[in-house]
Amino acid sequence: MSDSSKLISLIESLPFSFYSLISLALCYNKNIILSEGGTMQDFIAQFGSFAPIVFLILASILPIFLFPPGIFSAIGGYLFGFTHGFILSIISALIYTSAMFFIARYFASDYVEKYLAKKLSKKQYDTIFGISENKLTIFLIIYRLIPVLPNSVICYSYGLTRISFKKYFIGNLIGLIPGKMIWLHFGTTLNNIGSMEFIYGIIIILAFAFISSTVAKRFNK
């Protein structure tokens, strides 16, 4: 395998570390998050009292098309504060993860199977599709707490398993909360770049990225 192929494989198998770095770069880049005009947060903010609805719509739809969810959580914290941003981010996350689950289960199972065949190693495939429903729920929580697979792979994979939507929904909710809280907290510090709180936020995100990378390397062996 060439170095470029290894790099692509690494990026695909280590989503949290990759998307964390991408999201951090986008958040820090003033042309993306904190510029004076033409940015995602400015587009949302211009709707005034309807901004939360616009945010909810965008944050529920774009991640289905592989847009990094962490960015929306950061924007949610930046625009609406931690509490309101948390509520909106969790609702949107449950919407897009549920949509991807149902797409795989009822509408595009053949396409999803081909997609997963390219993304999952044999060990990963056996782990997801060869265990009981209760273990699937536990693994889902773990995958969300320490994301060793891309969000899209997790959602689409689980749509093809034997797990009920109820258990998927509950496990998903439990596993999503910590990561959303980290990104939301980071978003609330974007008004004061350079502060100790902002630096702590970056350190926490990078720490999770490192843990995810380390676990994923072991998981992929």
Q: What is the pLDDT of residues 13-27, one digit of tens each?
A: 444 444 544 454 545
**143 contacts 128 by C-beta, under 8 angstroms:** no
- Return the residue matching tokens 């944050």: 59
- Domain of 157? 3-219
Minimum mean pLDDT among 38-47, 86-95, 157-166: which range? Answer: 38-47
**20 contacts 34 by C-beta, under 8 angstroms:** no
> Rounded to an integer, what is the distance from CA 50 to the centroid of its chain?
25
Cα separation, 166 vs 116, whole angstroms: 23
Q: What is the pLDDT of residues 127-140, one digit of tens each?
A: 777 777 888 888 88
Show the tokens assigned to 7: 């790099």
The pTM score is: 0.72
The number of folded domains in the chain is 1
Mean pLDDT across the chain, nearest whole number? Answer: 75
